A and B are shown apart, each in its own frame.
Chain A
Amino acid sequence: MLQWRLCEVMRELFFPELKYYRLHKMARSIHLNAALMQEYRRNPETVMNAFGLTEEEKELVRSKDPVRMFNAGVMAYAIFYLIWEAEGWIYRPPEEQTLYKEQLMS
């Protein structure tokens, strides 16, 4: 059931929902600008305010929960930039940075 639900969501994987335009713009800017990434790590609220994020968007970003963000419809690459890059997951051991666990899907 879980696999089916995720696959259904996957079909919308790369559609950038208009309601998250600000969030996507912030995530991309953090990805491209090392100084902004440092500022975001020090003071995420300041950066979120600078990009005019809504309270719903701020809650999603504060959660630092990629599954929650994905299920809410945030673009997968924005999640990658905010979690795997800004939170440094990309440098963690594989078992700590991967979400898919085969035993859950069988």
Chain B
Amino acid sequence: MARFIGAYMSSHAPQIILQPRVSEEYVAQLARVHGALMELGDRIRRRNIDSLVVFGSDHMETFFLDNYPQLLLFTGERSSAKFGDKEVEIANNVELATHLLYSLLDQGFDVCFSQEMRLDHPFASPLYWVLKTAGNVKVIPFHVNSNVSPRVSPKRCYQLGREVRRAIESFNGNSRVAVYGTGGLSHYPGTPLYGKVDVDADQYITAKIVEGRGSELANLTSKWLDDTGNFELRTWIAALGAVGDVRGEILVYERAYHIGYCVAAVEAV
């Protein structure tokens, strides 16, 4: 049976890949975020992880309002994203993705699927750096709607993560699999609050991760997530649902001018 290795989490702001040189301080902060993402990749390689289920949330980029899914698994073979001169390509583990789809449907999660899907920044932005050091890892993109209302509840995200882990552990073969949640932390893009970062809220979240109390984040309300700019925590909560209450590490936290950048790891074994 496949083995579940752990959960990784990070911000996914487009600036991570676009790298706007808006100030010397910001350039230095981004460099530290890039370093932490490549450290995650290095851990993935050292732990011989061959497949990564990535919970990301579309922002009306891959999908539009003519047909907007709450939960969607990519079951096609390959996908990519382009940002200027930078390109991110991923190869999927189609067998595992299809197994996850069937297992989740059996367990009451009505997950959509797509066999052709263009990636965008929620996946590409962190993976551009992680995949530089992660070795030959397959990536299974899993859209968890955090950015277009109405959205999946935090509690449901946690339940989803738990079921994803059960499904991984019921997969035949010798795969070593981890999950990865992308987004956040506190930020308010496109709003009059752009530039606000709720550092207290971010510290509350990171403390729960360090203390191995991630399950408590499932009790946060959608309103709290919106008020603190942490609406994308849904993908982290899904990842924490998979790994359970295991003590974690914060590899980096940077209060930048527009967001609280964070990279975290919770390893189960």
Which residues of A pack against B, CB within 8 Å? 6-7, 10-16, 21, 24-25, 28, 31-32, 66-67, 70-71, 75-80, 83-84, 90-94, 97-102, 105
Contact = CB atoms under 8 A, between A and B. Distances in A.
Given A94-B26, A94-B257, A76 B149 contact: no
B17 to A, nearest CB: 12
Q: Which of B59, B194, B196, B227 has the most CB of A within 10 A?
A: B194
Given A66-B192, A90-B20, A13 B149 contact: yes
B223 to A, nearest CB: 7
Nearest to B191: A76
16 contacts: A6-B192, A14-B149, A15-B150, A16-B65, A24-B65, A66-B192, A67-B192, A76-B191, A77-B59, A79-B190, A84-B190, A90-B15, A94-B258, A99-B195, A100-B188, A100-B196
Contacts of B147: 14, 77
Contact of B18 (A10, A13, A90): A90
A35 to B, nearest CB: 14
Contacts of A84: 189-190
Nearest to A15: B149
Q: Which of B65, B192, B231 has the most CB of A within 10 A?
A: B192
A71 B20 CA distance: 28
B87 interface: no
A95 to B, nearest CB: 8
Contacts of B226: 10-11, 13
B105 interface: no
A67 B191 CA distance: 7
A75 B60 contact: yes
B193 A10 contact: yes
Label chain A's interface by main secondary structure.
helix
Nearest to B188: A100
Q: Which of B149, B193, B223, B231 has the most CB of A within 10 A?
A: B193
A14 B151 contact: yes
A102 B194 CA distance: 11
Given A70-B191, A77-B189, A97-B194, 9 more contacts: A6-B191, A10-B188, A10-B193, A15-B150, A76-B189, A77-B59, A80-B189, A94-B22, A98-B195
Nearest to B58: A77
Contact of A10 (B14, B64, B191): B191
B257 A28 contact: no
Interface in B216-269: 223, 226-227, 231, 257-258
B22 A28 contact: no
Given A11-B223, A16-B65, A28 B193 contact: no
A13 B150 CA distance: 10
A93 to B, nearest CB: 6
B23 interface: yes
B194 A100 contact: yes
Interface string B56-71: 0001110011000000
A19 B263 CA distance: 38
A11 to B, nearest CB: 6
Given A16-B65, A24-B65, A100 B189 contact: no
Closest 6 A/B residue pairs (Cβ): A98-B195, A76-B190, A94-B257, A80-B190, A100-B195, A79-B190
